[in-house]
């Protein structure tokens, strides 16, 4: 996502901005200040490895708000201050996905996966001696969403709905800091892309949220999935932000054109690599490319044994 040189430059700017005693960063530095805040959002929300304290981030964020308040013409749609809308959502209109969000077939044992491998070979005209590579990754237990990017900007977020149409929850997804408001798709030769993902709450954060709700006399959530899916449909985006949700993106469902200089990203794993390079949170632990169904089965069994080590609730593996 960021080169060594970019990281050094952004950290240098961070320290210079924080060193300004009155916190009044010059307005002509607004673009650099916005880039600095986006970098620290990515460190915190995607890498889970912040490089500055929360109070320092708040200091920089407040400085940006002051600049924009003094001159509203400087406010851009992808500004870090524009994640939380002040408008309440009275209803969620439906929107059509660019390609349907289809269901997955279930498998419960190695025999099912062996049968899957047999069908893959039959449909692909392959023999038992031909090598087949499989991409395997965790299936998180959250709320399914689609993110639409047009001209590098996040323009719409929807729930899965019935697979063909979902509810437009754009304002609520804008407050999820692991959803980039701007991503460099154009540099990869992509003008428009619709991504699939899951909205999640980390297990440790879910515990904290429930403890706070209990202290406030509110009903506690049954599980992280219910808390995340319920958060998507809240009317006030500022309340959504309090749930500290994350979005893991696991697929490019649609893109046009298909890659730089007409060279498409032909494999699922190459598309995940691209999304990671663009700053999205993608599956990490348990993700693998394996060259036989026997290795897939072994890998799935190992992840099942390790499922409690995942920071999010797991609903199985996807092959």
Q: Is-cis flag, bond preceding 257, omega within 30?
A: yes
Helix or strand (DSSP H, E) at 318: strand 314-318
CA 151, distance to chain mean position in Å, is: 18
- Give the C-alpha separation, 209 to 213, whole Å: 6
Tokens of 218: 């509110």
Q: Known catalytic residue: 207?
A: no
Report d(CA 255, CA 271) in Å as an integer. Answer: 11
Q: Are 282 and 249 in contact (CB under 8 A)?
A: yes
* Token output for 295: 């290795």
Q: How far lies 275's CA from each of 72, 184, 194, 235, 268, in Å?
A: 32, 10, 12, 29, 11
**Could you give the C-alpha distances from 50 to 44, 46, 55, 57, 164, in angstroms and in order?**
5, 10, 12, 10, 38
Closest by CA position to 13, among listed 70, 48, 52:
52
Give the separation between CA 165 and CA 95, rounded to whole angstroms.
Answer: 5
Longest dimension (CA), the chain: 71
From 29, 76, 139, 295, active-site residue: 139
Task: Report the catalytic residues.
Answer: 139
């Amino acid at each position: 996502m960021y080169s060594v040189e970019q990281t050094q430059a952004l950290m240098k700017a961070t320290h210079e901005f924080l060193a300004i005693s009155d916190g009044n960063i010059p307005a002509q530095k607004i673009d650099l200040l916005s880039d600095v805040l986006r970098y620290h959002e990515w460190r915190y929300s995607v890498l889970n490895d912040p490089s500055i304290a929360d109070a320092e981030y708040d200091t920089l964020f407040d400085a940006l708000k002051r600049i924009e308040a003094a001159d509203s013409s400087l406010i851009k749609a992808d500004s870090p201050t524009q994640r939380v809308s002040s408008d309440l959502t009275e209803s969620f209109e439906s929107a059509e996905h660019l390609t349907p969000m289809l269901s997955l077939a279930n498998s419960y044992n190695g025999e099912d996966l062996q049968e899957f491998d047999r069908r893959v070979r039959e449909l692909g005209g392959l023999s038992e001696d031909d090598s087949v590579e499989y991409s395997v990754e965790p299936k998180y237990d959250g709320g399914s969403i689609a993110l639409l990017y047009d001209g590098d900007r996040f323009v719409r977020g929807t729930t899965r709905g019935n697979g063909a149409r979902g509810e437009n929850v754009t304002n609520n997804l804008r407050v999820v800091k692991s959803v980039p408001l701007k991503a460099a798709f154009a540099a990869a030769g992509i003008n428009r892309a619709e991504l699939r993902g899951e909205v999640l709450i980390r297990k440790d954060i879910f515990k904290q949220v429930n403890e706070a709700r209990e202290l406030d006399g509110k009903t506690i959530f049954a599980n992280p999935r219910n808390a995340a899916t319920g958060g998507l449909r809240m009317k006030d985006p500022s309340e959504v932000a309090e749930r500290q949700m994350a979005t893991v993106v696991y697929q490019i469902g649609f893109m046009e054109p298909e890659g730089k200089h007409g060279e498409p990203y032909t494999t699922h794993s190459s598309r995940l690599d691209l999304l990671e390079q663009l700053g999205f949170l993608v599956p990490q632990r348990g993700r693998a490319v394996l060259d036989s169904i026997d290795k897939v089965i072994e890998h799935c069994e190992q992840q099942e044994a390790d499922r409690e080590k995942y920071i999010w609730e797991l609903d199985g593996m996807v092959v």
